[in-house]
Amino acid sequence: MLEARDVVNYLDQYLRIREIPDKSLNGLQVQGKKEVRKIGLAVDACMQVFKQAREAGVDMLIVHHGLFWGALQPLVRSLYDRVRFLIENDINLYCAHIPLDVHPEVGNNAQLAQKLDLEVEYYFGNYKGTPVAVYARAPKKMAPEELHTRLKGVLGEHVRMDAFGPATFRNIGICSGAGADFIPEARSLGIEAFITGEPRHGIYYYAQEEKMHVYYGRHYETEVLGVKALGQHLEETLKLSTQFFDAPSHI
């Protein structure tokens, strides 16, 4: 058992919450119990996950997509219901959006590169001053279908491949979630294949004409990896029980 404020302070420092600009209000979003015995983790802050967390006896829930974004929001309708549920059940809600995407150890992009046996060379793709996409290299050249097979093994059979690039390649870009906007920059860096979550209509013919492979693994599935890795890290470091709650959007 730990004080909730100690867990929050650890997360703030480990994930560099105060250093990384974001439209998400990262950090502790809703205050709950003062003591934490069990941590829950999920991709999205939604009622489905909140109810699972309550049934599992969670004291703090850590999510990638939190409740508060950008400008001030009125506490009405579903947002009011969510906040009220957390307060009534004394559950702390903590959010880590871009800080979790870009973390070099438990980040979504770093974790996907690791699971694909790729070496991360550097980050690119500016988001509010932070490079968020990964430039990675395969140990040796691979065919597009080989990377597709590896991705399906990590993310699921739904992974889509738009194979417009060379017969073999080594330079691979990764940006989880909605990272398709970084594909033109990736191409300018010599990246031959790019992995992200959501497709974008305007990118289809760009990739085709620029002779580039693009793989889409869905927003949710590409952002499960970092959340799970963070849970494992907290178990090992803080010696707290953790549980992941799966609530896929299939997007």
Q: Are residues 114 and 218 in the same domain?
A: yes
Q: Are residues 64 and 44 in the same domain?
A: yes
In degrees and rounded to multiples of 5, residue 35 shows phi and psi of -120, 140
Going by C-beta distance under 8 Å and a sequence separation of 6 or more, which residues neighbour residue 57?
A: 37, 38
pLDDT at 71 over 90: no
pLDDT tens sequence across 27-40? 999 999 999 999 99
CATH of the domain at 133: 3.40.1390.30
Q: End of a domain among 55, 79, 98?
A: 98
Give the pLDDT band of residue 105 (cuts 50, 70, 90): very high
The range of the structural domain enclosing residue 30 comes to 2-98
Give the pLDDT band of residue 215 (cuts 50, 70, 90): very high
Could you tell me which residue, 70 or 182, shows the higher pLDDT?
Answer: 182
pLDDT at 200: 95
* pLDDT average, residue stretch 120-125: 98
Instruction: Evaluate if pTM is beyond 0.95.
Output: yes
Q: Are residues 88 and 136 in the same domain?
A: no
Residues 20, 11 contacting (CB under 8 angstroms): no
**Count of structural domains, the chain:** 2
Residues 163, 213 contacting (CB under 8 angstroms): yes
Q: Are residues 92 and 119 in the same domain?
A: no
Q: Are residues 148 and 91 in the same domain?
A: no
